[in-house]
Chains A and B, each alone.
Chain A
Amino acid sequence: MSTYSIVCMNMNCFRIVILTNMICYGRFWYDAAKNFHSAYLDGVNGSRLLDALDNCGATPVVQTFTVLMNLLVFFDHYKANQWEEAAYLIDRLNLLPNTQQEMASKISAYHQMDHALKQNVAQITLAFMDCLYQMFSAFNAQLHTLKPTNPEFSTLSQKLADLKVRSKLVSNFARLIPTAGPSNEINTQLARMEAHMV
């Protein structure tokens, strides 16, 4: 878990940092996908192959692959209790709504998603909510050590308020998408975490 590498990639005009950690399950696929990415989608060879994939209409597959690779990194951060890094990555992936205005477009995007992504959205939402909750708890604890006159007090208060808003959005988003699997259990947990952040 301690070793990681940074691979930069440029896909559809956005830049995402992939931090690849070792995982204990699906190792073959994780390694194979990582190797494939670094060997054939990144660097000099990358543009040639990407062009070929674009030409054969495989752009959506490439995009899904990119998002999945980043989500693997997100879960690695999550499992390592690196809440802020994990939350930052989810923000960059643009899967969940940041504002109420984005809600409709994100739900629409969900319905357009590849099944490989769609089947994980509930778990991603839950993990992301957990990140927000953990950050909220940490900030809240920190806030209680400060006097209201402290300049950081207002900053932390704003962060807590932002996290509350974000958690509400995430919870609403989860309720608005049809999730496979234990959706009731997931929604219950989301609601519980949201409630703790009030």
Chain B
Amino acid sequence: MRCGNATAALETIQSKSRSGGQSQVEPCVWEIISHLTTYQKQSNFVFRQVSERTISIPAHLQKELGELYQRTASRTQQASNEHAFKLATLALLCNDGEQSADSSVVETIEDYLFTFLWVAVSSDAPSQQLIQIAKLLQQWGPKYFESDDHGSSGGWAYAMPLMIAQQLETALTHLATVGGALGLLQATHIGILLDAYKIPLVDLGQSPSTSNNKLLSSLLSSHCESIKAADPAAALEYLVRIPDEALMRTHIQQLIVSTRAYDILAGSLSPTGVRDFHVPPTSAVAGQRRDGAALDAHFSATQIAALLNGAAQMALKDGMVEDAAEILALAGSYGDLLALFNSRLGELMVPRDDTEFIRKRK
């Protein structure tokens, strides 16, 4: 049940009953678990969306459960706390968050979060409940969750509760910030996955707006920065996932200029002056093979020419004039290339500081 799998819980108690063991499960609990499986259907989880109340227990079962809880609580007070787990479970099924949280069985952060989540999804306003706990989590801050000051969890100690509370933006940002290269990689991949399922990368309680694109773009470009020197082709694989096309193009052009891996990204110039993208696979990623230039896997020849032209302008702006010439040649922008040749040859033809030249024959 703690994993949210009511079907598995039901199968367990059924199995125990069939094997002839003495079942400790009260009939009304049995009935409630059976009822919960109707929410789960073919899924592995009983929990669904949190935007609305997902679990509703019939009134008669609630009444029976309430009485059972009172009886168990009474026995527990008289005797020992041997029934503490049972009491806590009943409290949760009764949707009594306070009772369950106060129980001695709730010892860890995970226990607390599970208890809170259960109460949240059983409440009339699950989103508000989650927002409430998210505020608490952010109030406590990362240090509260880390076991040491060195962040040995790689950011996960704080990121996981945040993700449970659906604070996705804060969680991924934290993971990417404090988790080093691995944390950034993990945050980027989680971001890609969530985006693929159209899940907004925002904190629950915030409006989606454009934040989804911004965070994902930021994660992708940051991760690209960290790997581009080792494998420009792999870096490109991340950049092409940037949702904003204009931003994606800018980042790809920056990748071309900063890595200068022209042959890997765009191929080489053939003797006929046409870009030859059938370069041998040179990716540094183990086991990865490419049949041609990396850009050709994602863009048409026209799009690549436009990207290369933009990269050439960027190189010119950065003073990398020689590189700009090479990129223009790859782009097939021979007119621009010749204009660049003209500009440079014109400037270099007669060195302006060569007074020897002017005064040579005085």
Please list the residues of chain A having a beta carbon within 8 angstroms of any beta carbon in chain B: 25-26, 28-30, 32-33, 36, 39-40, 45, 48-49, 52-53, 56-58, 61-62, 64-65, 68-69, 71-72, 75, 114-117, 119-120, 123, 126-127, 130, 133-134, 181-182, 185-186, 189, 192-193
Contacts and interface: CB of A to CB of B under 8 A. Distances in A.
B284 interface: no
B357 A123 contact: yes
Given A25-B351, A36-B341, A123-B350, A58 B358 contact: no
B346 A68 contact: yes
Given A29-B341, A61-B335, A186 B358 contact: yes
Contacts, number: 99
A72 B271 contact: no
Main secondary structure of the interface of A (DSSP, over half): helix
B360 interface: yes
15 contacts: A33-B345, A39-B271, A49-B334, A53-B334, A61-B339, A68-B346, A72-B349, A116-B342, A119-B346, A123-B349, A123-B350, A186-B358, A189-B361, A192-B362, A193-B361
Nearest to A68: B345
The bracket for how many chain B residues form the interface is: 20 to 34
Given A25-B348, A123-B350, A32 B357 contact: no
B178 to A, nearest CB: 45
A29 B348 contact: yes
B339 A75 contact: no
Cβ-closest 10 pairs across A and B: A116-B346, A26-B348, A58-B335, A116-B342, A123-B350, A29-B344, A68-B345, A40-B273, A61-B338, A65-B338
A114 B342 CA distance: 9
Contacts of A29: 341, 344-345, 348
A185 B339 contact: no
B335 A26 contact: no
Given A65-B338, A65-B342, A116-B342, A39 B349 contact: no
A45 B325 contact: no
B272 A120 contact: no
A185 B334 CA distance: 38
A134 B337 CA distance: 37
B2 interface: no
